[in-house]
Amino acid sequence: MQHMTARLIDGKALAAEVRAALRPAVTALAARGAQPGLAAIVAGDDPASRVYVRNKVRACEETGVRSELHEFPADVAERALLECVAGLNRDPAVHGILVQLPLPAHLDTERVLAAVSPAKDVDGFHVENLGALLRGAPRFVPCTPAGVLRLLDHAGVPLAGRHAVVIGRSNIVGKPLALLLLQRDATVTICHSKTARLAELARQADVLVAAAGRPRMVGAEMVKPGACVIDVGTSRTADGKLSGDVDFAAASKVAGWITPVPGGVGPMTVAMLVANTVRATELSIA
């Protein structure tokens, strides 16, 4: 029987380290009379969204960041959400605003995200912040891509001159992550649902990031021996368990490094949100 050869990249442990490392900054802010504050907006009763928001609120509390939750029913009027955002934009005790996605289908996500003050946009989804990221001088890097970079750096995975293949081109994961990898001098290929010969491209990757939301679509035959495999995917399977986009058991026999699901990218996303909230607070009093 072939055993796992890949080194496991432990996102849960690194996320705890990242949060602990934020404490001195939080203490320094307190000495200046500022406690970081995050406001989370969630609409509808999607169980996954509720779990994600609860994890984010808990991570804030553990780090000394004040948090407040604004919950709305699934049929909330867009105007009510926009009024909530406008109030939070004006509130000096709120330094970061998070709109949990996906929003119910009748709402215009782009309009709601655009209403968040760019200075409080700790998810980094506002066009102004995405534009700054594109120019290479980001204010807030979107949390999941930022978390992936931290995982890669922590594991010591070389990026410069390497081929990174990102499966997924969403505005919140695939595209910003591809930009970050490009800024680190990787040669980046972005794949999506219309990509031809996906497996062939994936097999060329030194760093393969799966962010498609397709359970176990990446098998061992798509992984170059020794490559680093980062699994962003989180899908809920019929038995209620979380599944990544990577067939972990198979891929870990070929890869050089691999992240698990759960316990990989997910906790890092949350830690980077807390980090962005602390940074937003520092910028607000600078």
Burial code (b: 16+ CB inside 10 Å, e: under 16) for 13-39 equals ebbeebbeebeebbeebeeeebebbbb
> DSSP secondary structure string, 211-246?
-S--TT-B-GGGS-TT-EEEE---EE-TTS-EE-SB
Among 58, 106, 111, 192, binds ligand NAP (CB under 6 A): 192
Structure tokens at 47: 């169980």
Q: Are strands 96-99 and 163-167 parallel, antiparallel or unpaired?
A: unpaired
Contact between 217 and ligand NAP (CB under 6 A)? yes
Among 214, 219, 242, 282, binds ligand NAP (CB under 6 A): 214
Choose, from 10, 121, 123, 206, the residue flagged as catalytic. 123
Q: Is 253 marked active-site?
A: no
Contact between 256 and ligand NAP (CB under 6 A)? no
Cα distance between residue 39 and residue 194, in whole Å? 37
Q: Which is nearer to ligand NAP, 262 or 282 (CB)?
A: 262
Among 92, 194, 197, 240, binds ligand NAP (CB under 6 A): 194
Residue numbers 69-128 binding ligand NAP by CB under 6 A? none
SS3 38: strand
Contact between 138 and ligand NAP (CB under 6 A)? no
Give φ, ψ of 279 to 5 degrees: -65, -40
Residue numbers 150-189 binding ligand NAP by CB under 6 A? 167-170, 172-174
Minimum distance, C-beta of residue 18 to ligand NAP, in the bound complex (Å): 14
Among 63, 67, 129, 234, binds ligand NAP (CB under 6 A): 234
Contact between 198 and ligand NAP (CB under 6 A)? yes
Q: Which is nearer to ligand NAP, 43 or 173 (CB)?
A: 173
Cα distance between residue 198 and residue 105, in whole Å? 30
Amino acid code (one letter) for 126: H
Contact between 243 and ligand NAP (CB under 6 A)? no
- The reply to whether omega before 158 is within 30° of 0 (cis) is no
Minimum distance, C-beta of residue 286 to ligand NAP, in the bound complex (Å): 29
Q: Is 100 marked active-site?
A: yes
Q: Is 36 left (phi over 0), alpha (psi -120 to 50) or beta?
A: beta
Catalytic residue numbers read 56, 100, 123
Tell me which residues touch ligand NAP (CB under 6 A): 144, 167-170, 172-174, 191-195, 198, 211-214, 217, 232-235, 265-266, 269
